[in-house]
Amino acid sequence: MRRHRRQHPEQLALKAHELRIGPRYPRLGTAAFRAARWVARKTMGKIGFNELDSDFARGRLAHVRSKLARGETVYLVGIGLPGTHNSGVALVEVTQTHGPRLIVNNEEERFSGNKHTTEYPAQSIDAMVATLRAMGRDIDDIDAWLTSWDYFALAGLLARCVFEEMPQSLSLLSVADATAFDRRRLDQMRRSPRILAKQLGLPRPQQLICMPHHGNHAWFSYAASPFADDGEPVAVAVLDGTGDTGSISLYAAGNGEMRQLYCNDSMFDSLGMFYSVVSSTQGGWTWLSSEGRYMGASAWGDMNRASNPYYSRLKHVLHLGDGGEISLNRAMANWYYDPSINPYKLPLIDILGEPLKPEQLWNPDAVLRVEDIKHRPDTKDRLDKAAATQLVLEDAMIHVVDHLLRITGAHRLVLTGGVALNAVGNMRLLEHFDEAWFEKNQGRKARLHLWVPPVPGDPGVAIGAAWQFAHCAGSPRGEAMTHAFYCGTPPKEADIAAALAADDVASQAIGDVSTRQGRDAIADLMAFMVAQSGVIAIFQGAAETGPRALGHRSILANPCDPGVRERLNERVKYREAIRPLAP
């Protein structure tokens, strides 16, 4: 149930018609949620999908609990199905002694080359099965298959979105690819139990257990964190585009346990959606590609709240309420019913200008070409808008975390969900919650200790599904992650040889890296090439998990060369000039 939202003092300056918080018909939305969830139970339950409290899931939990008690090893598979972005599969080994251990996390995009893909993860599954068999195990040893979304709750949430703002929100039914959901593949998601069974050579549909999306984010991120179970509480914040019941969820964790404190029950009162919509319609990229780029663009704008020409008005698009609540000001924004074509209302158009249309995207240099920053006033304006958007996001992140640290009494924070990929915002949290804040608000000498997992976004929820299920079966928390998340599939030697034998590749053997002499020879050559402003691409070992370049799939170049950024972006990365590089 929604609590009454008291207006923030800064919002009192707005006229009444300029502030509308919450949906128009919340009771109708709640009824639609319940009805759609009931229908999903009746239909999806017959084709291989099972809720966590279903008879099938309880049976699997009892089976896993029994195996762990006997000292046996359990294998769980988390799977990101088609229809939602970042499909893939994770294999997790669980023992009663050590808890869960991540063996492999295959993202389908690593095989297909399609970023944030929504396609069925066929290649990821094949590679996972190959890894399992290389360990002397087989698919019969998998004790449970777990989805990264609770599709029953997700059906309810989507129905809530349509009914709570009738009749305008009916337009959501015709939105194809404006959000992270791909309607073209949702039918494939429904058929996944049969598709998976066919792929694995099984006679009947593979039974899947649906795990809560934000619980998946939270459990893995907490369990993998370096924070010890020493009696001190750990705060966990999931800040997301959306989950299957809401977009902001808060937890308190400690001693291997975690309890949910809050979920906002809304897809649109969302920090992730706010940033996605504005970064796309102002920056010139599509969703899931716009957010990180726009964060980079903000560095070129005015990041001073007192002098930025857009911040003081743009901040009113988000209402900061009591209890750390964040609400979309629906008097300014349309994206609760039209996130793609007409996401702004007139007050927001007055601040930011007309939004870019879908057909105008993927031409960001037309609006954000930093080389023209001193020559084109419109470029400077757009960069200042990027900075204002970043500042508004940081305000909201601080508002949520402030409340969470107060109610938990924690100084350790696990931050996860897609918004946690905003590295600049994360740094602002560390700066804001300093010794002075803790002295004033908790009466002790401390400062914020922040953990963001390498996969806070949806590439990590397949892992989290297995971790959360293991916890439900009584597994201990497991050990903190200490490696650099090389959890993908490594290339076969034959694959590398075939690539080098291609007609358009010239290759020469330099040394064998399995020997010290070979490593030294290659290292010397690489150092010489970089010093001469050459560019080297590294391809080695297992693929990284998450949006990181950790040395297995990386590019080396000379950071002392002032022309290296342009050369890399134009000839190698094919990226916009606005985007930074990590020297």
Nearest to 467 by CA among 457, 456, 478, 459: 478
pLDDT tops 80 at residue 476: yes
Nearest to 281 by CA among 347, 239, 243, 333: 333
Q: Residue 168 has what pLDDT?
A: 85
Nearest to 223 by CA among 129, 92, 50: 92
Q: Is 548 helix (H, G, I), strand (E, B) or coil?
A: coil
In the structure, what pLDDT confidence band is assigned to residue 175 with cuts at 50, 70 and 90? low
Higher pLDDT: 288 or 445? It is 445
Q: Residue 9 has what pLDDT?
A: 45
> Contact 78/144 with Cβ under 8 angstroms?
no
Q: Is 188 helix (H, G, I), strand (E, B) or coil?
A: helix
- SS3 sequence of 233-246: CEEEEEECCCCCCC
Task: Give the separation between CA 186 and CA 170, rounded to whole angstroms.
Answer: 19
What is the per-residue pLDDT across 518-537, written as a single tens digit (0 to 9) for each? 999 999 999 999 999 898 88
What is the per-residue pLDDT across 65-77, written as a single tens digit (0 to 9) for each? 999 999 999 999 9
In the structure, what pLDDT confidence band is assigned to residue 378 with cuts at 50, 70 and 90? confident
Nearest to 408 by CA among 275, 237, 179: 237
Sheet with 74-80: strands ordered across: 49-50, 208-210, 142-147, 74-80, 88-95, 99-107
Q: Residue 4 has what pLDDT?
A: 44
Query: 503-506: long-range contacts (C-beta < 8 A, 24 or more apart)?
Result: none
DSSP strand pairing (74-80 vs 88-95): antiparallel
Helices (H), 70-121: 108-112
Task: Give the separation between CA 176 and CA 183, rounded to whole angstroms.
Answer: 6
Helices (H), 492-549: 493-500, 516-531
**150: CB partners within 8 A, 6+ apart:** 51, 52, 210, 211, 212, 213, 244, 245
Q: How many residues does the chain have?
A: 583
**42: CB partners within 8 A, 6+ apart:** none
Distance of CA 41 to the CA centre of its chain: 27
For residue 413, list its beta bridge partners: 235, 450
Q: Residue 375 has what pLDDT?
A: 62
**19: CB partners within 8 A, 6+ apart:** 7, 11, 316, 319, 329, 331
Task: Give the separation between CA 223 and CA 255, rounded to whole angstroms.
Answer: 10
DSSP strand pairing (234-239 vs 412-416): parallel
Q: Residue 177 has what pLDDT?
A: 47
Helices (H), 114-243: 122-134, 151-163, 183-190, 192-200, 213-223
> Contact 81/120 with Cβ under 8 angstroms?
yes
pLDDT tops 60 at residue 100: yes
103: number of Cβ within 10 Å? 16
Task: Give the separation between CA 323 and CA 319, rounded to whole angstroms.
Answer: 12
Which tokens belong to 231? 């009696």
What is the per-residue pLDDT across 478-513, written as a single tens digit (0 to 9) for each? 888 877 677 888 888 888 888 888 888 888 888 788
What is the per-residue pLDDT across 293-345, written as a single tens digit (0 to 9) for each? 899 889 989 999 999 999 999 999 999 999 999 999 999 999 998 888 899 99
pLDDT tops 50 at residue 227: yes
What is the per-residue pLDDT across 415-435, written as a single tens digit (0 to 9) for each? 999 999 999 999 999 999 999
**335: CB partners within 8 A, 6+ apart:** 268, 273, 277, 328, 343
DSSP strand pairing (208-210 vs 536-539): unpaired
> Contact 401/433 with Cβ under 8 angstroms?
yes
Q: Residue 545 has what pLDDT?
A: 83
DSSP state at residue 445: S
CA end-to-end distance (rounded Å), the chain:
49
CA-to-CA separations, 180 to 184, 207, 273, in angstroms, rounded: 12, 25, 10
